[in-house]
């Protein structure tokens, strides 16, 4: 009994220490991020995770959801077109990713569709909730300060990494757990190794990922003619 009590006590102490370092790091990140008006267009929930971490309003609709890699590349390649188009919903059987969704046990998730792009609303229980959040948050997108975030995951192949790297936009980055890194926009994700890519990138940010450096990059503005350096 005494041994169990000691283990519980040590566990609580360790948790308090970890929380202290986490909150200390968070405090300095919030202090050092220069601007607080950026819209992160991410392939999954990463954007929402950052806004929560920095105590910011969601200036992006890409929270609580994910895109399969080919669809994300399409989406960010013509962002205004897709954000202006209406969001609809399809049955899982209509999705071109039906087999993958079945494998992931996600056939009960709302599957959105904008033109030819599909979105899996992973953390929404109903289509109505997903639609309301998407339409409200897309109105907040700041096209004068957009940050693109991509990860090697969700059926990402070499084709998608090459296409993302080729986007004419410097304020972008791609998390990758594979070395050597091939592109300037790649950032090494050292949390786990998996040959198919990153399994999950929305856990508390690992020590080698500098949010300050990623979020303080030179601002690019988005116009109907593409991305332009200010």
Tell me: do 143 and 206 sit in the same domain: yes
First to last CA, the chain: 65
The pLDDT score that the predictor gives to residue 228 is 39
- The 10s digit of each residue's pLDDT in 159-206 is 999 999 999 877 899 999 888 888 989 988 887 777 778 888 887 676
Q: Are 227 and 218 in contact (CB under 8 A)?
A: no
The pLDDT score that the predictor gives to residue 130 is 97
Contacts of 4 (CB under 8 A, 6+ apart): none
In eight-state DSSP terms, residue 205 is: P
Tell me: do 139 and 69 sit in the same domain: yes
Question: What span, in angstroms and rounded, lies between the C-alpha atoms of 58 and 129?
Answer: 16
Domain annotation covers residue 135: yes
Tell me: do 19 and 67 sit in the same domain: no
Residue 16's pLDDT band (boundaries 50, 70, 90)? confident
- Residue 119 Cα distances to 72, 157, 199, 218, angstroms: 9, 18, 18, 29
How many structural domains is the chain composed of?
2
Domain annotation covers residue 188: yes
Domain annotation covers residue 123: no
Q: Encode burial over 53-71: b for 16+ CB neighbours within 10 A, e otherwise.
A: bbeeebbbbbbbbbbbbbb
Tell me: do 26 and 46 sit in the same domain: no
Question: What span, in angstroms and rounded, lies between the C-alpha atoms of 95 and 100?
Answer: 10
Tell me: do 23 and 48 sit in the same domain: no
Domain annotation covers residue 56: yes
Tell me: do 170 and 197 sit in the same domain: yes
Tell me: do 48 and 24 sit in the same domain: no
Residue 50's pLDDT band (boundaries 50, 70, 90)? very high
Domain annotation covers residue 66: yes
Domain annotation covers residue 175: yes
Question: What span, in angstroms and rounded, lies between the C-alpha atoms of 24 and 27?
Answer: 5
Tell me: do 69 and 138 sit in the same domain: yes
Tell me: do 188 and 223 sit in the same domain: yes
- Worst-scoring range by mean pLDDT, 41-45, 113-117, 173-177? 173-177
- Worst-scoring range by mean pLDDT, 63-72, 84-93, 124-133, 178-187? 178-187
Q: Backbone dihedral region of 140: left (phi > 0), alpha (psi from -120 to 50 degrees) or beta?
A: alpha
Domain annotation covers residue 100: no
Domain annotation covers residue 47: yes
Mean pLDDT of the chain: 87
**What is the span of the domain harbouring residue 45?**
36-77+130-229
pTM, entire model: 0.86
Q: Has residue 219 got a pLDDT over 50?
A: no
Tell me: do 11 and 49 sit in the same domain: no
Question: What span, in angstroms and rounded, lies between the C-alpha atoms of 27 and 10?
Answer: 26
Which among 166, 204, 201, 169 is positioned nearest to 187, based on CA atoms? 201
């Amino acid at each position: 009994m005494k041994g169990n009590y000691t283990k519980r006590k040590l566990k609580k102490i360790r948790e308090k220490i970890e929380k202290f370092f986490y909150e200390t790091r968070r405090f300095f990140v919030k202090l050092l991020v220069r601007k607080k008006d950026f819209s992160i267009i991410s392939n999954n929930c990463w954007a929402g995770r950052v806004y929560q971490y920095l105590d910011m309003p969601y200036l992006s609709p890409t929270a609580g959801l994910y895109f399969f890699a080919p669809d994300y590349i399409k989406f960010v390649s013509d962002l205004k077109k897709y954000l202006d188009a209406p969001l609809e919903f399809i049955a899982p059987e209509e999705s071109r990713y039906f087999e993958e969704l079945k494998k992931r046990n996600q056939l009960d998730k709302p599957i959105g569709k904008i033109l030819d792009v599909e979105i899996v609303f992973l953390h929404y229980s109903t289509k109505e909730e997903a639609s309301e959040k998407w339409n409200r948050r897309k109105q907040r997108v700041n096209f004068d300060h957009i940050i693109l975030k991509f990860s090697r995951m969700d059926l990402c192949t070499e084709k998608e990494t090459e296409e993302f790297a080729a986007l004419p936009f410097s304020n972008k980055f791609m998390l990758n757990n594979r070395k050597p890194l091939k592109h300037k926009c790649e950032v090494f994700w050292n949390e786990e190794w998996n040959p198919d890519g990153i399994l999950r990138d929305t856990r508390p940010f690992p020590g080698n990922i500098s949010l300050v450096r990623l979020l303080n990059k030179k601002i690019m503005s988005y116009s109907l003619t593409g991305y332009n350096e200010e």
